[in-house]
């Protein structure tokens, strides 16, 4: 079974070398997969318009000859929702999207992400951007309570996995290697489980 083409999107401050996103990119490449792990401009001071343009450029570069998968973490989840709700070429639609540990869409405690807040949370827009979307929440995430995360999943009408004790599912939560996300990319295996 061939691996999909995988676009991995980082959140605020990027993904450091020990983050599961970098581990995932390395594992996929090691197994012969094609991976795009871009760094958005100014990861410490994100600009929604700039990041949207970058996202769409990377989507446009994805080959159409393979399954196309997007894996987004944290702020990139809200970026994806803005992309889905905007006007874009239907050719940018992908097969599968995994939204991991999004901030709550109304999270007001971080001024740097203010422009990313309050995305449209419509099932129609999400379905327009990807054939299948899945949400993963970490229990105890300081940026999104389980209640807010489940509200988001319900608004989008997508399946959701809750990782017990996962917090923000980042390096600070001990999420470096994470075999479940690799299995999901390879075979759409669900549900996602802890590392």
pLDDT digits (tens, 9 = 90+) for 87-119: 889 999 999 999 999 999 999 999 999 999 999
Phi/psi for 146 (5° steps) reads: -60, -40
At 26 the pLDDT is 97
Helix (H, G, I), strand (E, B) or coil at 148: helix
Helices (H), the chain: 20-30, 48-60, 75-85, 123-129, 146-156, 179-187
pTM: 0.97
What CATH number is attached to the domain comprising 171? 3.40.50.1820
Check whether 156 has a pLDDT greater than 70: yes
User: Shortest CA distance to 120 belongs to which of 94, 93, 87?
Assistant: 87
Range of 93's domain? 5-187
Residue 30 lies in a domain: yes
Residue 195 lies in a domain: no
Residue 90 lies in a domain: yes
Residue 147 lies in a domain: yes
User: Shortest CA distance to 83 belongs to which of 98, 69, 93?
Assistant: 93
pLDDT tens digits for range 22-50? 999 999 999 999 999 999 999 999 999 99
């Amino acid at each position: 079974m061939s691996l999909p083409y995988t676009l991995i999107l980082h959140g605020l401050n990027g993904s450091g070398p020990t983050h599961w996103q970098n581990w995932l990119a390395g594992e996929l490449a090691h197994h012969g997969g094609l991976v795009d792990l871009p760094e958005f401009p100014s990861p410490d001071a994100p600009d929604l318009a700039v990041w949207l343009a970058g996202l769409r450029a990377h989507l446009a570069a994805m080959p159409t000859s393979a399954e196309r998968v997007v894996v987004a973490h944290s702020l990139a989840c809200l970026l994806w929702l803005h992309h889905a709700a905007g006007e874009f070429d239907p050719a940018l639609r992908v097969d599968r999207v995994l939204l991991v540990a999004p901030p709550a869409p109304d999270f007001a405690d971080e001024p740097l992400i203010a422009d990313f807040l309050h995305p449209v949370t419509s099932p129609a827009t999400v379905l327009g951007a990807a054939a299948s979307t899945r949400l993963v929440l970490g229990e105890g995430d300081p940026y999104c309570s389980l209640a807010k995360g489940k509200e988001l999943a319900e608004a989008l009408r997508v399946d959701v996995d809750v990782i017990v004790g996962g917090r923000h599912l980042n390096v600070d939560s001990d999420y470096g290697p994470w075999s479940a996300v690799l299995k999901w990319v390879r075979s759409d295996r669900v549900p996602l489980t802890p590392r």
